[in-house]
Structure 1
Amino acid sequence: MARKQGAAPEPELTDEERIEAEQAEAARIGAGGWEPPPGKAKSFGASAKRLLGLMRPHRWLLALVFALGAVGVVLVVLGPRILGEATNVIVRGLVQRDLPPGTTQEQVVGGLRQAGENELANILERMEGLQPGQGIDFEALGGILLLVLAVYAVGALFQWLQGYVVNRVVQRTVQRLRRDVEEKIHRLPLSYYDRTQRGELLSRVTNDLDNVSQTVSQTMSQIVTGLLTVVGVLVMMLTINGWLALIALIAVPLTGIILGAVLGPAQGLFKEQWRRTGRVNAIVEEAYTGHALVKVFGREEAVRGRFAVENEGVFQAAFKAQFLSGLVFPLMTFVGNIGYVLVAVAGGLFVAAGQILVGDVQAFIQYSQQFSQNLGQIGQTVTMVQSGVASAERVFELLDADEEESDAGGSAAADGRGRVVFDHVRFAYSPDRPLIDDLSLVVEPGQTVAIVGPTGAGKTTLVNLLMRFYEIDGGRISLDGVDTRTMTRDALRAQTGMVLQDAWLFGGTIRENIAYGRPEATEDEILEAARATYVDRFVHALPDGYDTVIDEDATNLSAGEKQLVTIARAFLARPSVLILDEATSSVDTRTELLLQHAMAALRTDRTSFVIAHRLSTIRDADLILVMEQGAIVEHGDHDELVERQGAYWRLLHAQFEQAVDPDEADAVPTQQST
């Protein structure tokens, strides 16, 4: 396994020590209650702006969203005012029914003033169209109610259309974001995967993206409608009575104070929640992948302990975030109720003073409720946005990660002969720890080169540099006379085939796995590759032959069978350069013989690099390289190196004849595995 690039040395801790430390941290966070979490968002505003910027290609649809929302809000806001007019019709009918028939409104008002009933006179004076002796005008009342019904129906239709367009915009935006993440994953260098846990990466690709999608789709329409409704309601309140509108506006500064007190801590807690969720996913993925090893070493309790610590962390962050965000709506409702009471009392006084009609007070009370409810909804929505932006920020961190150097404009593939030259190559995973210094090597077409040496000597690093999984720090690597850095990675890797120690098969049939490197291969070519690599010998014993579906972990094939399939895959790809990295280290002796025959067929007429610890597998190599500390200390064929009795002879002697001598073991440098 490659050393993690840029990783600083850390003190080794046992699982128990690590669990105790994490439990102490969780206890500190949990007991203290409301400390600022370490995962606070770096920039909420910048992340939110960037998230909205992703919708720029749909700006015309967004304009339609605002237009539909505006029309829908206007219609819905008109409803209470029209209903207030219906109330005025009813009140006017009840009042005029008890007045003397045959009189006029002016006569009734004048008589009341002469009698000293000025307040009642003011009330009757404001009632337009008063007809003494007449009852309720049900025809006018029916027309008003039908109008209200039509207004609400059309308003609901426009709001539904707005939600439909919003949902389309959001899902298209998230679809593009998900595509960008998928493409980004393929542009990341190998070093990124070295230092990032798979569960953490999967959490950003799945959980965080889903949270972004749900948050934006649920809140965007609410925010647009809520803001437009607040503005529309405010305008209507001002047209009814300015003093009552000022009383209703008391809720605005209180809303700002509440949101200011909640948003900051909530944003940090939401970020901590999703960070902890990523760590939980990493633990679960790791424990599931290595569940057999966990059971073999009896580490179930340790794994459960680590999971419990992170799960508790998720609980603490999620609980506090949801608690804070949950405070917004009841607090806003409380503020709204205070405004409601003040408006009701003041409205009653204004009616009694003849300054406003009962129907207008009724409409104003409805508007004040809508005003406070929409402010509360906006506040609740903003706290939901906190969670979505926290997830978006984690996705943006992935999208902003350093990529492989662009190879745009690189040359096409070489002529396919397979001549490889390492010319004074230098490389280090970390600048302060050089691994390969001034390495030179020439491999002629068709040669088989075996690379041996102690763990950490740089064997796998050598082929990783050839494949451009990592970029060299100095020197030059050429394939058929072409500098690999001037070739596109696709062109370079099209000329190479790899068979790794860990056989990786994809979900699908055996036929599909063999043809993975050349999907256009014919059935005859697939069968030829299978026969040459001894896959055909065991396939016919399977229930469906080549159509046998390999399950998720390829547990329906043995380790040797999986390895044979990967060799057949490389055989079918017809590379000019072949890399075999410990391809037989995990199989039994009989299977190893089959693999050796298969690899011998695979190496025919190809330049081959074979990395092996079992020296018996590389005796027939044209050239054997012995590496120590990133340098080639010996090279030659098997017989030559044995005669020299140097580093290769010591490896051979230690492997086949006796245990490692302690003095010799101390003389062999050890490093991290490469």
Structure 2
Amino acid sequence: MSKFGTPSMGRMKFDENAEKPDLSPAMLRRIAAYFLPYRTRTLAVLAVLTVTSLLGLLPPLLIQQIVDRALPDKDLRLLAILVFSSLATTIAAGALGVLQSYLNSYISQHIVYDMKNRMYRHLQSLPLSFFSNVKQGEVITRMTSDIAGIQGVFSGTIVSFASNVLILVTTSVTLFIMNWKLAVLSLFVLPLFVAPTRRMGRVRWKFAKQTQEKLGEQNRITEETLGLSGYMLMKLFARDDREYDAFRKANAETTRLQIRESTAGRWFMMMVSTFGSIGPMLIYLYGGYLFIQGEITVGAIIAFVALLGRLYGPVGQLTNLYVEIKRSVALFQRIFEYFDIVPEIADRPGASSDIPDGGIEFRGVEFAYRPDKPALRGISFAAEPGTITALVGPSGAGKTTITQLIPRLYEAEKGIVSIGGADVRSLKLDALRSHIGLVTQDTYLFNATIRENLLYADENADERRMIDACRAAYIHDFILSLPDGYDTLVGNRGIKLSGGEKQRIAIARVLLKNPPIVILDEATSALDTRSEHYVQQAMRSLLTGKTGIVIAHRLSTVRSADQILVVDNGAIAERGRHEELLALGGLYKELHDKQFAAKSPA
């Protein structure tokens, strides 16, 4: 059995002593890789930011000229030129800001688009064991809110970092050119911005991780209790209040964490704002002294204070940016945890798309869901082409597990499963699974029309083929009796249809696929006598000329099988035809007698 590094991804708990978020070079490279397809637009954004940062210097410098030249000289013409120049600069910077916003949004939205596509494709490649272990709702949380949560990193963090660095550099150079003494004084305040940042980053990371875990719990409760099956179970057991209380508690905890995170952020910003007000006061104080000494003009002091905002603003944003990055690392870690799960059931190098003709063979197959509890032990049998092999035995004996190894939904740990003499592990998964049709007891239908559900098997099938498949499955006449015929919506999981009707549609779907191997897993166990009769007729059509594997608790459905394998405790306890197994007097006869009340076989 393959094992994941995180065997129960949905049950991860936050540990305050666990490894803190690490912005390692490897993670930065991993994040940067998402920008590579959009490097041209990214460079365009950087160019726009450079021009914008330079334009932002002009209004304070123009104000200096207004105060020091235009107003003292009472030069109306110069005053108008300077005012309109400042206005034009502001408009140009705003227009460039719109362009930058568009490019930024384009890049960020497409990166999230790419990440969601990659995540969905990656999840498709994971084995059935992953989805059996993960909590319901957890996958949806990581696919939606986690990935959406990092959109701000792409859309704001990277661009904000570049923008603030450019503003910081150009402003610092300008300040030193204007007056190096005031510039040095301005820099003394900068450490006050940085001091609380590290602590704040850890706090925001902790709250972000806890919040996402609680959101995952909310999604799980919502999906489990408001999905069709969970909803019916909740109603039938009158557990509305209990489930509401569980949701309310998770929602309350999420809200509490979000408030704490928001409040912590506000205190941090208040401190940054307070520190930011110290600089201008020092400039007015020392600048006033320099003005009295005749070393600087009033306009220069005003321009200096105005530019100081462009110095402290980026520093404050960069420190807050550090906090946001630390917060976002929690989301990246959750997303990369899924990306780092290696699909252990995958195409091997040189895997073949050509599925050989022939039957199914198991040779010494062993398998376990848990290391301490084998599910299959030394399974060996051959199912010849065109024959029906039935698997019977107590619940939990391993019958379904045997069938799931054929299409490699799980992987055999020991032994070989082969088709036509070829190990299934040497075959490409898509080709292998297209070679197999499966009908289970719990038939799944999409919330779509009957036609759409049928054509899921072959979207290129024409009307004639579809109708022929439905006739063979004894469901065509029923479909025509519906007001919308084949365009009838079946509801969530086919809720508008009976169990027998859903089963026959599922059989018609497999008939339309027309695979050489057919697996029927308890296809009639939950049906009434009339529905079972129609489904059995449909099963005969489906199995004609196929290599069939049939799991059944109702032994009446397997009497005519070419061979019957009695599975008990993960091993084949008996094998033979119906009459041979009855004569053997073992487990098969015991199961038979319990079902038929010791009546003689017909």
On whether the aligned pair clears a TM of 0.5, the verdict is yes
2:156 corresponds, among 201, 218, 221, to: 218
Deviations 1:243-294 (CA, angstroms, capped at 9, x unpaired): 2212222331111112112011211221221122112211211112211112
Q: How far apart are 1:40 and its partner, in Å?
A: 6.5
Is structure 2 residue 225 aligned with structure 1 residue 287? yes
Runs (5+) with no aligned partner, structure 1: 11-21, 30-35, 94-135, 659-674
2:22 corresponds, among 25, 38, 43, to: 43
2:67 corresponds, among 67, 87, 93, to: 87
Q: Paired residue for 2:32?
A: 52
1:65 corresponds, among 16, 21, 45, to: 45
Deviations 1:149-202 (CA, angstroms, capped at 9, x unpaired): 222222222232222222222222222211211210111111111111230001
For 2:507 and 2:411, how far apart are their aligned partners in 1? 27
Indicate if the aligned counterparts of 2:5 and 2:341 stay in contact, CA closer than 8 A. no
For 1:587 and 1:340, how far apart are their aligned partners in 2? 82
For 2:521 and 2:105, how far apart are their aligned partners in 1? 50
Q: How far apart are 1:90 and its partner, in Å?
A: 4.3
Output aligned runs, 1:34-433, within 5 Å: 37=16, 42-45=21-24, 46-93=26-73, 136-289=74-227, 290-403=230-343, 404-416=345-357, 418-433=358-373
Indicate if the aligned counterparts of 2:354 and 2:431 stay in contact, CA closer than 8 A. yes
Q: How far apart are 1:594 and its partner, in Å?
A: 0.8
Q: Structure 1 221/531 Cα, relative in aligned 2: closer, same or farther at 3 Å?
A: same
Q: Paired residue for 2:506?
A: 566
Q: Structure 1 6/167 Cα, relative in aligned 2: closer, same or farther at 3 Å?
A: closer
Q: How far apart are 1:528 and its partner, in Å?
A: 0.2
Q: Secondary structure at the match of 1:426?
A: strand
Q: Which amino acid aligns with 1:446?
A: G
Q: Structure 1 39/168 Cα, relative in aligned 2: closer, same or farther at 3 Å?
A: farther
Deviations 1:95-129 (CA, angstroms, capped at 9, x unpaired): xxxxxxxxxxxxxxxxxxxxxxxxxxxxxxxxxxx
For 1:600 and 1:363, how far apart are their aligned partners in 2? 90
Indicate if the aligned counterparts of 1:40 and 1:268 stay in contact, CA closer than 8 A. no
Deviations 1:324-361 (CA, angstroms, capped at 9, x unpaired): 22333221111111112111222222212211000000
| Higher alpha-carbon deviation: 302-311 or 352-361 | 302-311
Q: How far apart are 1:5 and its partner, in Å?
A: 6.2
Q: How far apart are 1:411 and its partner, in Å?
A: 1.5
Q: Secondary structure at the match of 2:455?
A: helix
For 2:17 and 2:243, how far apart are their aligned partners in 1? 24
Root-mean-square deviation over aligned CA pairs: 2.4
Whose Rg is larger?
A: 1
Q: Structure 1 279/649 Cα, relative in aligned 2: closer, same or farther at 3 Å?
A: same
Q: Which amino acid aligns with 2:348?
A: D
Q: Paired residue for 1:661?
A: none
Is structure 2 residue 492 aligned with structure 1 residue 552? yes
Q: Structure 1 456/624 Cα, relative in aligned 2: closer, same or farther at 3 Å?
A: same
Indicate if the aligned counterparts of 1:446 and 1:606 stay in contact, CA closer than 8 A. yes
For 2:126 and 2:7, how far apart are their aligned partners in 1? 24
Q: How far apart are 1:49 and its partner, in Å?
A: 4.3
| Higher alpha-carbon deviation: 156-165 or 382-391 | 382-391
For 2:271 and 2:28, how far apart are their aligned partners in 1? 25
Q: Paired residue for 2:468?
A: 528
For 1:503 and 1:193, how far apart are their aligned partners in 2? 18
Q: How far apart are 1:530 and its partner, in Å?
A: 0.4
Indicate if the aligned counterparts of 2:392 and 2:399 stay in contact, CA closer than 8 A. yes
TM-score by length of structure 1 reads 0.83
Q: How far apart are 1:39 and its partner, in Å?
A: 7.3
Q: Secondary structure at the match of 1:54?
A: helix
Deviations 1:485-508 (CA, angstroms, capped at 9, x unpaired): 111111211211000111111233
Runs (5+) with no aligned partner, structure 2: none
Q: Paired residue for 2:440?
A: 500
Indicate if the aligned counterparts of 2:49 and 2:166 stay in contact, CA closer than 8 A. yes
Q: Secondary structure at the match of 2:394?
A: coil
Q: Structure 1 408/186 Cα, relative in aligned 2: closer, same or farther at 3 Å?
A: farther
Q: How far apart are 1:8 and its partner, in Å?
A: 12
